[in-house]
Amino acid sequence: MEKQTILTGIRPTGHLHLGHYFGACSNWIKLQEKFDTYIEIADVQALTDNFNNPDKVRKSVRQLVVDLLSIGIDPKKATIFIQSTIPEIAELTVFYSNLVTIARLQRNPTVKTEIKQKKELFGESGESITYGFLGYPVSQAADITAFKGKLVPVGEDQLPLIEQCREIVHKFNSIYGQTLIEPKAYLSEIPRIKGLDGNEKMGKSLGNAIFLADDEKTIKQKIMGAITDPNKIKIDDPANPNICMVYYYHKLIKNPNIETVCEECKNGKRGCVVCKKELINHMLEFLKPITDKRKYYENHPEIVDQILKEGNQKAKKIAENTMKEVKKSMKINYFE
Ligand code: ATP
Ligand code: MG
């Protein structure tokens, strides 16, 4: 039986963080065993709001691939490729842009939240929203459909984008005939990982992330600064672990001692500093195998490049095939 295809993506705007790992990538590691897996390094999408920082995007591409290999993505099972090397995706984006209204894009909840966050970070007068940024959900629909992705394993923030993709596919098929596949989102056990500041989403661009590549000193600093129950003032004040980010990360990385942490916190038997130090130790232990693997790939950039070159080639063939079908359906296959 032919394996089903899954397609997912990540923007080269920085290293992987715990949000990616637990919210999406840990699923990719499992799913690559059973599915024909494609992982796109979405550099074109990253440029929509980082167009003035090409160095950051360029540097992040290889960093991210190293991160993905370090957490256990196996290039023999999953195809890792760079979005900009597949011009068919840009072509599809143009065709799909006729099928989406501007009002619909403006109503997309993810796009709305991201615009709001940008305003908070850069101020009302900061960078205004470009045509490219507003249209990135269309480009993402092109990413998914170019590979006929049936399942898209993502974090919760991506659900409105998958929905938008489904609408585009539906409209395309109803106008031009059955050609594209409507994808389904596939969420992880914890589909949204919170940030160190208590924000509902840990994000690369939000300054509230623990990156898998952070060194010991940075991990210590970040965890020592994490938000705890503001009502706990003295060391023996009882506290509410459910509003404490330190407890939240203890749980996330599966501290075997979690019940004790919870009980002691509730009963005022554990100070926040001790609790943070315990988390730091567990976090470093959790990151150690990833860090060791990263060192290997950092010392072998030629392996990383080879993986990408092969991935790009394989992905391009699939996208070319889809393009032929799309052009036929749209009756723009003039010389066939
Ligand atoms: P950026 O701020 O540049 O958009 P990001 O941290 O949001 O970066 P993306 O590259 O946009 O990361 O997302 C890659 C994948 O990781 C997506 O599937 C997204 O849903 C998932 N993801 C990112 N952050 C989280 C999070 N905090 N919780 C769960 N999933 C997440
Ligand atoms: Mg994002």
Measured in whole angstroms, the distance separating CA 168 from the mean position of its chain's CA atoms is 22
Q: Under CATH, which number does the domain 5-194+301-330 receive?
A: 3.40.50.620
Range name among 11-15, 120-124, 227-231 with the lowest pLDDT average: 120-124
Q: Which residues pair with 153 in a beta bridge?
A: 186
Ligand nearest to C-alpha 192: 1
Q: What is the pLDDT of residue 174?
A: 98
The proportion of the chain whose per-residue pLDDT surpasses 70, expressed as a percent, equals: 98
Contact 44, 93 (CB under 8 A): no
Atom of ligand 1 nearest to the CA of 191: 29
Instruction: Give, using CA atoms, the residue closest to atom 18 of ligand 1.
Output: 154
CA of 157 to the centre of ligand 1 (A): 7
Reported as a single tens digit per residue, the pLDDT across 285-333 is 999 999 999 999 999 999 999 999 999 999 999 999 999 999 999 999 9
Tokens for 286, please give them: 């959790």
**Residue 132, amino acid:** G
Report whether residue 62 contacts ligand 1, using a CB cutoff of 6 Å. Answer: no
Contact 222, 196 (CB under 8 A): yes
How does DSSP classify residue 211?
B
Instruction: Give, using CA atoms, the residue closest to atom 20 of ligand 1.
Output: 155
Residues 6+ apart with CB under 8 A from 142: 89, 90, 92, 93, 96
Ligand nearest to C-alpha 155: 1
CATH 1.10.240.10 domain locations along the chain = 214-294
Residues 6+ apart with CB under 8 A from 184: 150, 151, 152, 162
Report whether residue 24 contacts ligand 1, using a CB cutoff of 6 Å. Answer: yes
CA of 25 to the centre of ligand 1 (A): 10
pLDDT at 125 over 80: no
The C-alpha R_g of the chain, in whole angstroms, comes to 22
Q: How does DSSP assign 274-314, residue by residue?
A: HHHHHHHHHHHHHHHHHHHHHHHHHT-HHHHHHHHHHHHHH
Question: Among the CATH numbers 1.20.1440.130, 1.10.240.10, 3.40.30.10, 3.40.50.300, which is that of 214-294?
Answer: 1.10.240.10
Q: How does DSSP assign 122-153, residue by residue?
A: H-TTSSPPPHHHHTHHHHHHHHHHHTT-SEEE
Q: What is the pLDDT of residue 124?
A: 65
CATH 3.40.50.620 domain locations along the chain = 5-194+301-330
| Residue 1 pLDDT level (bands cut at 50, 70, 90) | low
> What's the CA gap between 304 and 287, in Å, rounded?
21
CA of 263 to the centre of ligand 1 (A): 32
Q: Helix crossing, 272-298 with 245-252: angle to 10°?
A: 50
CA of 50 to the centre of ligand 2 (A): 12
Record the pTM: 0.94
Q: What is the pLDDT of residue 336?
A: 86
